[in-house]
Amino acid sequence: MSVSSDEDQSDSQEWVFYRDRPEWKDIEPIPQDDGEEPIVSIAYSPKFQDVFDYLRGAMKISEKSERVLQLTQDAIELNAANYTVWQYRRDILKEMKADLWQELNYINSVIENYQKNYQVWYHRKVIVEWLKDGSSELEFTERVLEMDAKNYHAWQHRQWAIKTFKMFDSELDYVDKLLQDDIRNNSAWNERYFVIHQTTGFTEEVVKNEVEYTLEKIAIAKENESAWNYLRGLLLYDKNGLSKNVHVTDFCEKLYASGNRSPFLLALIVDMCDEQIVSGSGDARYTLERAKQLCSDLATEYDTIRCKYWEYMANTIEKKSKGEQPEEEASAST
């Protein structure tokens, strides 16, 4: 059985096989070894076979030269996800003491074509580390994120560069711009958390300002799960907990009174009830009865896909109200 490779078959007429290049006669090509009886034999194109056969031949004798560097480039064009090719390319660059800025320009063009390929981003990271200069990384990742604002690899690389080269200064402004463009951009919310965590930390003043910022965003898009999750994260740093931040509770109660039944709003109020019941604070708005009713509403109408979870939550909160341990806590203590 054979299957076609992913390689683009439209080779240009100018392409000359390595086996037909006189300057490569000294290299013995090594064919791909798939074993005696491969379950699935990949039908590599002649060009693919030629390039990788000669690359294996060059690697066998550990040749690190300008011509093999070009050979790795041809191999990368055929399969940019091949870790071995990228590693050998790095070995050649180091051996030759090559121009790393030229290599950075090269990897720019590769990433533009393979934006979600781990190997290309890892190669860029290594080159930037060797250069000890991250001055190009914010602008480069911003260009990539303009094409896909949620590209995980671009965000991961950007965070690495910002942390490594201490480039936090304007990042919150950039995040705010992204959220103005797309308030539901979960990656931007995550970046906001990252920047604050790495710089000021979530001090009382920072939490106060961030809560205000987040509530303003929720008021614009009340069904935005990303903003609700960010709010929950902020309240973990509030010494008063979920249910005693007056700014938050007043906002939630007004939203509820207006008729809004966002599952994220209801879930937060359930947790507020849970917290009040456990602490015994006695706020009349956050009772067992209300928690059970909201869990029922979520299970039957507003978050039915998680109905079992909300039934479980109602039972758990009721047990807590009676001073009983929830099942998982009881089993953990035995």
Do the domain assignments include residue 55? no
Ramachandran sector of residue 126 (left: φ over 0; alpha: ψ -120 to 50; beta: rest): alpha
Number of domains in the chain: 1
* pLDDT tens series, the chain, 334 aa: 333 344 444 444 589 999 999 999 999 999 987 666 666 666 789 999 999 999 999 999 999 999 999 999 999 999 999 999 999 999 999 999 999 999 999 999 999 999 999 999 999 999 999 999 999 999 999 999 999 999 999 999 999 999 999 999 999 999 999 999 999 999 999 999 999 999 999 999 999 999 999 999 999 999 999 999 999 999 999 988 888 899 999 999 999 999 999 999 999 999 999 999 988 777 889 999 999 999 999 999 999 999 999 999 999 999 998 887 766 554 433 3
Do the domain assignments include residue 287? yes
Nearest in space to 47 (alpha carbons), one of 89, 84, 24, 13 = 13
- The Cβ of residue 111 has, within 10 Å, a number of other Cβ atoms equal to 23
Instruction: Please name the residue that has the structure tokens 């490569």.
Output: 24
Strand partners, 4: 43
- The Cβ of residue 163 has, within 10 Å, a number of other Cβ atoms equal to 14
- The pTM of this model reads 0.87
Do the domain assignments include residue 234? no
Q: Specify whether the CB–CB gap between 272 and 242 falls below 8 A.
A: yes
The two tokens of residue 91 are 């070995």
Do the domain assignments include residue 91? no
Q: How far apart are CA 253 and CA 283, in angstroms?
A: 13
Nearest in space to 273 (alpha carbons), one of 241, 238, 297, 251 = 241
Do the domain assignments include residue 136? no
Residues that are catalytic: 116
Do the domain assignments include residue 212? no
Per the structure, the complete domain to which residue 303 belongs is given by 243-326
